[in-house]
Amino acid sequence: MTIDRTDRELLLAHVLGKPRSFAVAHPEVSLDEHQSSMLASLIERRENGEPLSYITGTKEFYGREFLVTKETLIPRPATEALVESALKFLRGEEGKTHEIDNGISAYISRFHDTPVQAVLDVGTGSGCIAITLALEGVSLPIIGVDMSHAALIIARKNQMKFSVKNIQWIHQDGTNVVRNFHRPFLLVSNPPYIPEGTALEKTVQDFEPHTALFAGADGLNVIRPLLMAAKNNKNCAGVVVEMRNEQVKSSYGILAL
């Protein structure tokens, strides 16, 4: 693939350790031999389809630069909208399931009005949801849960980067955590929800972790037990879960069982 001007500017800025605005304003900047070699290597990686965020090791989310690696999904705009939905839920605002990106919904269900005492972020990955909730004013204990030890290492680094205190991380199956949590809580999750066999862009298919993307034939292999665990735990005040539009009806059915 041929990379565009913006990507070249961002890679140059990364090599220089400067913001993109510097690379744009100083096109005449000269590079030493090491910098030239490094830039050529990064451009080659990008031309081979590797996502820019994995090359630079960062991705902007909710106006902040988060650390990301190949062990974590690259945060997307839909998940920023998921955070907005969770914030509204915690403020007591009425929230309905709604589309947050093309073909993607925030599935929202409030089970009862018991004051929430904690937030569970299941499948936390880089920790962008949990950390953003804290930085946007959620002072409740927030628990980020993930099955990937490597992802939690990045989440902890992001927590240190943003100096957030009210988050703890658990390396465990999220469904088990939801099933056994003993304080009134809100479940927030961007779980794997893509049906197996779905064709994805090469940059996603070849580089992002499949365990965080795919979830069985209908994409509900994680969502189904997660919602059932939430429904069956009397301490769960409600859920805010990212999923595909066509999975919403099935999710209503799961909670109606």
DSSP assignment letter at 4:
-
Q: What is the pLDDT of residue 257?
A: 67
Q: What is the pLDDT of residue 19?
A: 83
Same domain, 53 and 86: no
Same domain, 11 and 124: no
Q: What is the pLDDT of residue 256?
A: 79
What is the extent of the structural domain holding 47?
5-67
Find the Cα–Cα–Cα–Cα dihedral 86, 62, 144, 123, rounded to 10°.
90
Per residue of the chain (257 residues), what is the pLDDT tens digit? 788 888 888 898 899 888 888 888 887 788 888 988 999 999 999 999 999 999 999 999 999 999 999 999 999 999 999 999 999 999 999 889 999 999 999 999 999 999 999 999 999 999 999 999 999 999 999 999 999 999 999 999 999 999 999 999 999 999 999 999 999 999 999 999 999 999 888 889 888 999 999 999 999 999 999 999 999 999 999 999 999 999 999 998 988 76
**Token reading at 126:** 């880089």
Residue partners of 182: CB distance under 8 A and separation at least 6: 235
Same domain, 194 and 226: yes
Same domain, 37 and 117: no
Within-domain flag for 9: yes
Q: What is the pLDDT of residue 155?
A: 98
Same domain, 201 and 101: yes
CATH number at residue 233: 3.40.50.150
Within-domain flag for 72: no
- Rounded Cα–Cα distance for residues 95 and 101 (Å): 16
CATH number at residue 18: 1.10.8.10
Which is it for the CA torsion 59, 65, 68, 72, positive or negative? negative
Q: What is the pLDDT of residue 203?
A: 87
Tell me, what amino acid is at 83? V
Within-domain flag for 104: yes
Instruction: Note whether 66 and 128 are within 8 A (CB).
Output: yes
Q: What is the pLDDT of residue 74?
A: 95
Q: What is the pLDDT of residue 75?
A: 95
**Considering only CA atoms, which of 213, 190, 187 is closest in space to residue 128?**
190
Tell me, what amino acid is at 220? L
Q: Tokens 């400067």 belong to which residue? A: 18
Q: What is the pTM of this model?
A: 0.92
**Token reading at 210:** 């499949």
Counted domains in the chain: 2
Q: Name the region of 197 (left: φ>0; alpha: ψ -120 to 50; beta: rest).
A: left
Same domain, 28 and 108: no
Same domain, 110 and 151: yes
